[in-house]
Amino acid sequence: MSDHFDAIVVGAGPSGNACAYVMAKAGLNVLQIDRGEYPGSKNVQGAILYADALERIIPDFRDDAPLERHVIEQRFWMLSEKSHTGAQYRSDEFNEERPNRYTILRAQFDKWFSRQVRAAGAVLITETTVKDLIKDDAGRVIGVITDREGGPIYANAVVLAEGVNGIVGQRAKLRPEIKANHVALAVKETLFLPEETVRERFNLAGEEDGVVIEVLGSVSSGMVGTGFLYTNKESISIGVGCLLSDFAETKIAPYALLDKFKQHPSVAPLLKGAEMKEYVAHLIPEGGYDAIPRLTGDGWLIVGDAGQFVNAVHREGSNLAMTSGRLAAETLIQLRAEGKPVTEATLKLYRDKLADSFVMKDLKKYRKVPRLLEGNRQFFTTYPAVVNKAMQMFLRVDGVDKASKEAAMMRGVAKARGGWWGVVTDIFKMARAWR
Amino acid sequence: MTDKTNKTGPQMEERLYQNRYLVDEGNPHVTIHSQPGGDSAALKSLTEICPAGCYRTGEDGRVEVVPDGCMECGSCRILTQATGEIEWSYPRGGFGILFKFG
Ligand SMILES: Cc1cc2nc3c(=O)[nH]c(=O)nc-3n(C[C@H](O)[C@H](O)[C@H](O)COP(=O)(O)OP(=O)(O)OC[C@H]3O[C@@H](n4cnc5c(N)ncnc54)[C@H](O)[C@@H]3O)c2cc1C
Ligand code: SF4
């Protein structure tokens, strides 16, 4: 193995794989290092894969990527203790030749992606943890130190694709420590059922059709958080995630929250008889635009979750990871072609590419949402409860006239927020954060 | 609503039983540096909220950690970074949790 590379990529999740793949395809001499037994063995996702970001890197990925189902129906649930009020969108138009969203199992998907990276010519070493970065006297990053024998490895650029809990960048003081209110702690289980049972329970015609459910309300027990339930081919992924700071404050056990969600009367029948084959936990960056650290410096750049690139409102992360990885790769390819060094100044190219892409545009659009939700728990507690109560009042036929019912419903909504003023203020707050 | 019986013991064991681990015997990657003044609220909260139930209160009333079932989420590291009570590193390359599905 050569001991000097054009680039070293730390991490083989979607951001690192996208970055290493694009650079290797362009002929760069790339070394990628992952601490897992195989790429994916440390990684967790819901998981919905957004095709567009991957298609821009590997156009024919559908030919052999391990995809579970493509999403033809999305359900949104507002949960109260015994009910849910929902909206759903299902369309046969999602049964297209090149579907837009798929469910995947990350450990398997990452393994596949990594095979493409190696086929493109990158060198991968697994079971190896990067311990530290090497800097020269001027403070420029010039390589990495790992827990393997063999000494330091040098490169023109080090790409930190180490994920949300990446400690290399933090320990080298390239990025600050993460705050507990800038991450959600999520737990998830993979529950197995026969393929036909999944289809029947979710009203699916084809073996490849899938349903995903996003859940707000009592699922987070008053914390800022959400739940999800996704259909895979022969399994269901179910999970719940809330701000780490909220868990620390409430001392609610994450698995107890997940158990409660699984036992909810709207959920339990969907899971009946399923066999649990894995229980996982992972953090999700949720701080949004204001939590993004410095992204570049002399000899280094950050991609993916390590840069807090997650759009929590739309539950998108892997696509931001792949896109930032690709843009970093394109930057390093261009700098090499122009014979320029990798410095804070020349990496402006990467920062500009990011600013021009949906990654930064979307994070900027929702900049105010994380703070808004943290300061306004009623969106997770009061509203879902009130809406469910109102629905029940609306539907139950019990001899009370409709006008009285409507009046009571409206009073219930207003009362929950200390009068109509509270409700109107909430609507404005939400609308402003969404703009 | 917290189910206290679920934290450690048989139920947690059952939950983690399906997971694959390669434990680096004798090299725990999470250790506690007990502070003389007693355990911080953050450290104590981990006996409830570590998703793998790795923390418990010992007989002397101090918080203890056995990170064999750790899923390497990093929550305990982040919550105690201000107090410095926990020393946290990734397990040696190849060791630790091995997700099959993720
Ligand atoms: C429960 C959950 C549900 C989610 N649902 C969705 C979803 O439905 N759709 C979506 O798009 N996104 C979702 N996300 C977010 C998505 O998973 C992330 O945005 C994405 O994985 C980020 O990719 P990454 O490559 O930046 O980081 P990661 O996937 O975390 O990869 C980091 C890699 O770096 C390696 N590594 C770290 N440190 C070192 C080191 N020191 N030495 C060597 N290797 C190292 C790790 O082993 C790992 O392979 C979800 C996340 C969670 C936790
Ligand atoms: S990293 Fe996560 S799972 Fe491991 S001990 Fe800390 S809180 Fe528990």
Residues 59-98 on B with a CB inside 8 Å of A are 71-75, 77-79, 81, 88-94, 96-98
Common-topology check for domains A4-65+104-176+293-356 and A181-285: no
Q: Is A177 on the interface with B (CB under 8 A)?
A: yes
Q: What's the whole-number mean pLDDT along residues B19-23? A: 92
Q: Is B6 on the interface with A (CB under 8 A)?
A: yes
- Per DSSP, helices labelled H in A26-134 are 51-55, 106-119
- In terms of DSSP bridges, do strands A235-243 and A183-192 run parallel, antiparallel, or are they unpaired? antiparallel
In angstroms, what is the span from residue A37 Cα to ligand 1's centroid?
Answer: 15
Query: Does the structure show a pLDDT above 90 at B13?
Result: no
Predicted pLDDT of residue B10: 62
Nearest residue CA, atom 46 of ligand 1?
Answer: A11
Predicted pLDDT of residue A394: 87
Burial class (CB in 10 A: 0-12, 13-18, 19+), A38: middle
Q: What's the whole-number mean pLDDT along residues B46-67? A: 95
The whole-number mean pLDDT for each consecutive block of 10 residues of chain A, a chain of 435 residues, reads: 88 98 98 96 96 98 97 96 94 94 97 98 97 96 93 96 96 93 97 97 94 96 96 98 97 96 97 96 96 97 98 95 98 98 98 98 94 88 88 89 89 84 81 76
Q: Is B23 on the interface with A (CB under 8 A)?
A: no
- What's the one-letter identity of residue A133? L
- In terms of DSSP bridges, do strands A235-243 and B30-32 run parallel, antiparallel, or are they unpaired? unpaired
Q: For A224-278, give the DSSP string.
A: SEEEEEEE-SSEEEEEEEEEHHHHHHH---HHHHHHHHHHSTTTHHHHTT-EEEE
Predicted confidence band at B3 (pLDDT cuts at 50, 70, 90)?
very low
Query: Does the structure show a pLDDT above 70 at B5?
Result: no
The model carries a pTM of 0.95
Predicted pLDDT of residue A429: 80
**Domains of chain B from N-terminus onward:** 28-98 (3.30.70.20)
Q: Which of A302, A305, A304, A284 is nearest to A370 (CA)?
A: A284
- Per DSSP, helices labelled H in A56-152 are 106-119
Q: What's the whole-number mean pLDDT along residues B74-99? A: 95
Predicted pLDDT of residue B4: 43
Evaluate whether the domain defined by A4-65+104-176+293-356 bears CATH number 3.50.50.60: yes
Burial class (CB in 10 A: 0-12, 13-18, 19+), A109: buried
CATH of domain A181-285: 3.30.9.90
Residues with CB under 6 A from ligand 2: A 281; B 30, 50-52, 54, 67, 70-76
Predicted confidence band at B6 (pLDDT cuts at 50, 70, 90)?
very low
Domain ranges of chain A: 4-65+104-176+293-356, 181-285, 370-434
